[in-house]
A and B are shown apart, each in its own frame.
Chain A
Amino acid sequence: MKNPTDIKEKVRKNLIWKSVFRRDYRNTVRDRAQAIFGNIFLHLHPVQVREGAVKLRFTWGMGGITFFAFIILVITGVVLMFYYHPSIDQAYSDIKDLEFQVPFGVILRNLHRWGAHFMVIVVMIHMFRVFMTGSYKAPRQFNWGIGVILLVLTFLLSFTGYLTPWDQLGFWAITVGTNMGAATPLLGYQGPFSEFLHITPFNDVRFALLGGSRVADNALLRAYIWHCVAIPLVSVILMFVHFWRVRKDGGISKPQTQK
């Protein structure tokens, strides 16, 4: 090994490198295409994209940033789960432990919380961008609907996470929020027409949300499972439908002016 080129050769021309990357990259048209569809993470992209997709001014990168924020939240969320018990006896002290015992626990929790606020903000701006460019119009009508549901799921993910620290802020935010469930017409005990279905505080929508008639242990467990398992699962499935349809509907929208 006399010079850097030799080292580069040595690294690239061996069994292990070849087993990972399968072929040399020579910057030909074929290799640039291969770099995309030969890679499971990149193959969501088409091999070529419209110039506008690379410029910030059209998409602002908001959809991609939303997805990236989601990835940050999954990673920090999984690490947080190692330190957390969803029970009202331990939840609060687990968060205190993050603050005082766990190495980098404070920054871990901060990243998860600010990442969540950030995701809510960028997903709203993403929707605004898609509206302003008229990108929900044919043939993308269905994907806009998927996007609206993903927006709602983003709110619900953030909302269910609010209760997990079991502090006053989360407790009363969830109390206020789930009290709305009690007002559901027909299905909430305070809602109009609920008396016709014999709805009481013990069999209404709010009871189903909380697993009880007040915010307590069951509510924390439900919020936790919605937050960590159920809603992320549904969100991931819908995200893949969303991304798949972006490709199938012709990629990032381009001007279709009627002449």
Chain B
Amino acid sequence: MNPFIEIITQPDNIAIVIMIIMVTFFTLWAFQQAFENDRLIAAGKPVDGENEGLVDTFKPLVRIELIIALAVMVFLTFWSIVVDAPLEEIANPTLTPNPAKAPWYFLGLQELLVYFDPWLAGVVLPTLIIVGLIAIPYIDINPKGNGYYCFNDRKFAVITFSFGFFILWLLLIVIGVFFRGPGWLWYWPWQEWDHARVVFEPTRDLSNVFGIDSRSLPGFIIGAIVVNGYLIGGMILPYRYLKDKMPEFMKQFGLIRYLVTASLFITMMAIPVKMVLWLVFHIKYIWITPWFNV
């Protein structure tokens, strides 16, 4: 069978296919409504649902809940009749599968292991994702766009969230499921998995680019400057820029809220930065210390 068909019809991967279809559908629907409301706001008209009244819960809402529940039940029953849950061989600690993949919803994090050490990819970044999500309502002080789909009035929020959700979460999951084979090497869906394949990728650290040993003191200092420069510069430069361009907003926003937002944002952007460094320049570590490597 065609490897591509084989991969997407694996029982557990059917869930991913369903996810891709559902997410695409609801994303289009969300942005269609957002742009529609943008047009209404620009025309000075009320947005969708602004002037609507109340209806009795019994029966309009109860009825629709029952219909949806039945539809979900039919869908899941159909899915369960057509596709059987996989059951592999009994667990064998002496036989490691290659690749050993985490459950699909964690494959985005597993994919990060290519670019970060486990303490960052597996612990620090997931923790910051949770903290960052909980922090969203407290750092987004924009009063507009409350209770209706819209884009124009909250561009930064929507673009940042969409980047995190679609690229850093969902796309990495799709890559982990469909494009990673033995040795966590990249396989296009039409390529056969080859367990003997070895890819020689010369790795170097950032200071090696300038001919300085990354494990020496000068290499340590260069790494420290670059990493801390990124973190500190990533906080100070946008602050000065925004203070200059949007003084009113920054006054309202406040220093603490700015620091939380900026640190979360530059941490998120560190992920694509490290990806480019590795994929384009083959740079493994930026900063090597005796305790941890970044």
Chain A residues in the interface with B (C-beta under 8 A)? 29, 32-33, 35-36, 42, 45-54, 56-58, 60-61, 64-65, 68-69, 72, 88, 92, 95-96, 99, 106-107, 109-115, 117-118, 120-122, 124-125, 128-129, 131-138, 140-141, 144-145, 148-149, 151-152, 155, 158-159, 162, 165-173, 175-177, 179-185, 188, 190-193, 214-215, 253-258
Name the one of A133, A158, A165 contacting B147, with C-beta atoms under 8 angstroms: A133
A168 to B105, Cβ gap below 8 A? no
Question: How far, in angstroms, from A61 to B65 measured CA to CA in the complex?
Answer: 8
Name the one of A95, A133, A184 contacting B149, with C-beta atoms under 8 angstroms: A133
Query: What's the minimum C-beta distance from B154 to chain A, rounded to whole angstroms?
Result: 7
Evaluate whether A167 and B76 lie within 8 angstroms (CB atoms) in the complex, with A47-B57, A138-B146 already known: no
Name the one of B62, B92, B102 contacting A173, with C-beta atoms under 8 angstroms: B102
Question: How far, in angstroms, from A177 to B119 measured CA to CA in the complex?
Answer: 12
B84 to A46, Cβ gap below 8 A? no
Which residue of chain B is the closest to A253 with respect to CB atoms? B147
Question: How far, in angstroms, from A47 to B18 measured CA to CA in the complex?
Answer: 35
A42 to B58, Cβ gap below 8 A? yes
A134 to B102, Cβ gap below 8 A? no
Chain B residues in the interface with A (C-beta under 8 A)? 12, 15, 18-19, 22-23, 26-27, 29-30, 33-34, 41, 46-50, 52-62, 64-65, 68-69, 72-73, 76-77, 79-81, 83-93, 95-97, 100-106, 109-110, 117-119, 121-124, 130, 133-134, 136-138, 140, 142-150, 154, 158, 161, 165, 291-292
B58 to A32, Cβ gap below 8 A? yes
B61 to A134, Cβ gap below 8 A? no
B26 to A180, Cβ gap below 8 A? no
Evaluate whether A168 and B88 lie within 8 angstroms (CB atoms) in the complex, with A120-B105, A145-B137, A158-B103 already known: yes
B residues less than 8 Å from A50 (CB atoms): 49, 52-55
* Apart from A138-B143, A172-B96, A257-B148: 20 A-B pairs, beta carbons within 8 A: A45-B62, A47-B57, A48-B55, A54-B55, A54-B60, A114-B76, A117-B18, A118-B72, A121-B15, A131-B161, A144-B137, A145-B137, A167-B87, A169-B88, A170-B91, A183-B123, A188-B119, A190-B118, A255-B147, A257-B144
Q: How many A-B contacts at CB < 8 Å in the complex?
A: 278
Query: What's the minimum C-beta distance from B66 to chain A, rounded to whole angstroms?
Result: 10
Name the one of A46, A122, A129 contacting B30, with C-beta atoms under 8 angstroms: A129
A-B contact pairs, 29 of them (CB 8 A): A35-B58, A42-B58, A53-B61, A60-B29, A61-B65, A95-B87, A107-B77, A110-B85, A112-B85, A121-B15, A129-B26, A131-B136, A132-B158, A134-B148, A134-B154, A137-B143, A167-B90, A168-B89, A172-B100, A173-B100, A175-B100, A176-B100, A177-B102, A185-B292, A190-B118, A191-B119, A192-B119, A214-B93, A256-B147
Interface of A is mostly: helix
A-B pairs, top 9 by smallest CB distance, nearest first, are A180-B122, A141-B137, A183-B118, A110-B80, A171-B91, A192-B292, A117-B15, A253-B147, A134-B145
Which residue of chain B is the closest to A120 with respect to CB atoms? B105
B76 to A88, Cβ gap below 8 A? no
Question: How far, in angstroms, from A221 to B57 measured CA to CA in the complex?
Answer: 44
B residues less than 8 Å from A42 (CB atoms): 57-58, 62
Interface of B is mostly: helix
B residues less than 8 Å from A36 (CB atoms): 57-58, 62
Question: How far, in angstroms, from A129 to B34 measured CA to CA in the complex?
Answer: 11
Evaluate whether A141 and B102 lie within 8 angstroms (CB atoms) in the complex, with A48-B54, A110-B84, A167-B87 already known: no
B residues less than 8 Å from A170 (CB atoms): 91
A88 to B52, Cβ gap below 8 A? no
B residues less than 8 Å from A185 (CB atoms): 119, 123-124, 292
Which residue of chain A is the closest to B292 with respect to CB atoms? A192
Name the one of A133, A138, A215 contacting B148, with C-beta atoms under 8 angstroms: A133
B residues less than 8 Å from A184 (CB atoms): 119, 123
| Residue of B138, B142, B145 contacting most chain A CB atoms (<10 Å) | B145
